[in-house]
Amino acid sequence: MFNADTPAKCCSYCGGRDHDFEECPKRKADAEKEEAARVAKAARAEPGFTNEFHP
Ligand SMILES: [Zn+2]
């Protein structure tokens, strides 16, 4: 049954119905995880990257 009082939210990230994509807690958690991994990788790769950059 369609309830007009309930906002039509459907998260395209995790499929949740209580929030939309922009508010997805799973997406935010994954984004933070990805950001942390990216920073860690960049910090780790920096010395090697400079060596690889100069032939
Ligand atoms: Zn979600």
Helices and strands counted in the chain (H then E): 1, 0
Q: State in Å: Cα 4 to ligand 1 middle.
A: 21
Q: State in Å: Cα 24 to ligand 1 middle.
A: 4
**Is the predicted pLDDT of residue 2 greater than 60, yes or no?**
no
Query: Which tens digits make up the pLDDT trace of 6-15?
Result: 668 999 999 9
Q: State in Å: Cα 38 to ligand 1 middle.
A: 22
- Contact between residue 9 and residue 17 where contact means Cβ atoms under 8 Å apart: yes
Q: State in Å: Cα 2 to ligand 1 middle.
A: 21
Residues 6+ apart with CB under 8 A from 27: 11, 13, 14, 21
| Cα gap 3→17, rounded to integer Å | 13
Domain boundaries, the chain: 25-53
Query: Which tens digits make up the pLDDT trace of 3-54?
Result: 566 668 999 999 999 999 999 999 999 999 999 999 998 888 766 555 555 5
Q: State in Å: Cα 17 to ligand 1 middle.
A: 8
pLDDT at 4 (0 to 100): 61
